[in-house]
């Protein structure tokens, strides 16, 4: 079976052969995948998924690659990118946006229009689909507060609307994360009218603070661990003496201990090893089970 040839013959969108996944992740790690497909539309996506299922081919939907760790040994499957699902409609305070649209880009766009509610997302580098999947958040807010509904593709290839109450949003968790055979295609977000000047001032102030406190000059995927209730993962990592600790090219940031950075030629395996070691040491010393926010892709 020639997977690449077969997919090209489906004529559903752009197909990249043997892409290096490090070029598509914010950690800048990951080996080669069989191919990367950019479906043109919903019908193309359905055609592709049916072909992959019928032929038992492993696949993964990849957003902006800001929360995933691929191994350097590569991914023996097909990567699906929904970058073409990027339509945007703004009707008063309601936003209808495709899953492939960038979250930070949308946050700045609506904030400049004087709509409030997405300020928390200005520094989050994910896609809309990935942000809903992870229930991305910051500054005591997250997607669960602003998403009214999501258009999804169900496992039996039906297009259906799930409403906020169906999406089971919790801290860094959602219905989609627990049912990853449902695919986010589009979201409806509801915001409130606000003062543009105040909104932009808040965003710029937070940006300045992030630059001072986070290692944004290095490839990373943001916070590695969820904060345990009533505590901070960064504090626990410092307490076990892991600030600045390296394994291969992966290093615990000296600026913020809950960030692991690619300090040059890190592999996905290095990052995973460092994460697991931290989990083990924190469990040993404090009997706290740190939960990883990032996703290991095998």
Distance CA 87, CA 186 (A): 9
Selecting among 66, 104, 223, 253, the annotated active-site residue is: 223
Selecting among 17, 109, 148, 172, the annotated active-site residue is: 172
DSSP state of 226: P
Q: Which of 232, 183, 216, 172 is nearest to 48 (CA)?
A: 183
For the question of residue 223 being annotated catalytic, the response is yes
Beta strands in the chain (DSSP E): 13-17, 33-39, 59-62, 68-70, 75-81, 88-91, 94-98, 115-116, 137-138, 141-142, 147-153, 159-163, 183-190, 192-193, 220-223, 246-247, 250-252, 259-262, 295-297
For the question of residue 104 being annotated catalytic, the response is no
Selecting among 111, 220, 253, 293, the annotated active-site residue is: 293
Distance CA 100, CA 151 (A): 13
Q: Which of 209, 208, 271 is nearest to 26 (CA)?
A: 271
Catalytic residues: 172, 223, 293
């Amino acid at each position: 079976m020639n997977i690449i040839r077969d997919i090209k013959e489906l004529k559903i969108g752009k197909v990249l052969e043997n892409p290096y996944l490090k070029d598509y992740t914010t950690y800048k790690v990951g080996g080669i995948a069989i191919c990367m497909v950019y479906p043109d539309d919903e019908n193309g996506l359905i055609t592709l998924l049916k072909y992959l299922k019928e032929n038992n081919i492993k696949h993964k939907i990849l957003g902006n690659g800001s929360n995933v760790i691929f191994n350097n040994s590569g991914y023996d499957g097909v990567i699906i990118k929904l970058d073409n699902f990027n339509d945007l409609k703004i009707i008063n305070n309601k936003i209808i946006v495709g899953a492939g649209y960038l979250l930070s880009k949308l946050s700045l766009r609506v904030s400049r229009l004087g709509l409030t509610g997405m300020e928390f997302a200005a520094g989050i580098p994910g896609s809309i689909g990935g942000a809903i999947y992870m229930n991305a958040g910051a500054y005591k807010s997250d997607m669960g507060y602003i998403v009214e509904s999501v258009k999804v593709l169900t496992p039996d290839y039906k297009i259906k609307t799930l409403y906020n109450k169906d999406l089971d949003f919790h801290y860094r968790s959602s219905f989609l994360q627990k049912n990853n055979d449902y695919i986010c295609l589009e979201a409806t977000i509801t915001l409130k009218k606000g003062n543009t000047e105040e909104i932009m001032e808040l965003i710029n102030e937070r940006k300045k603070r992030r630059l001072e406190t986070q290692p944004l000059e290095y490839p990373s995927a943001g916070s590695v661990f969820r904060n345990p209730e009533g505590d901070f993962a960064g504090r626990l990592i410092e307490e076990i003496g892991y600030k600045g600790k390296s394994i291969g090219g992966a290093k615990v940031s000296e600026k913020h201990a809950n960030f692991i950075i690619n300090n040059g030629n890190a592999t996905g395996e290095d990052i995973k090893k460092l994460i697991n070691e931290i989990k083990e040491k924190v469990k040993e010393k404090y009997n706290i089970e740190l939960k990883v926010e990032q996703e290991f892709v095998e």
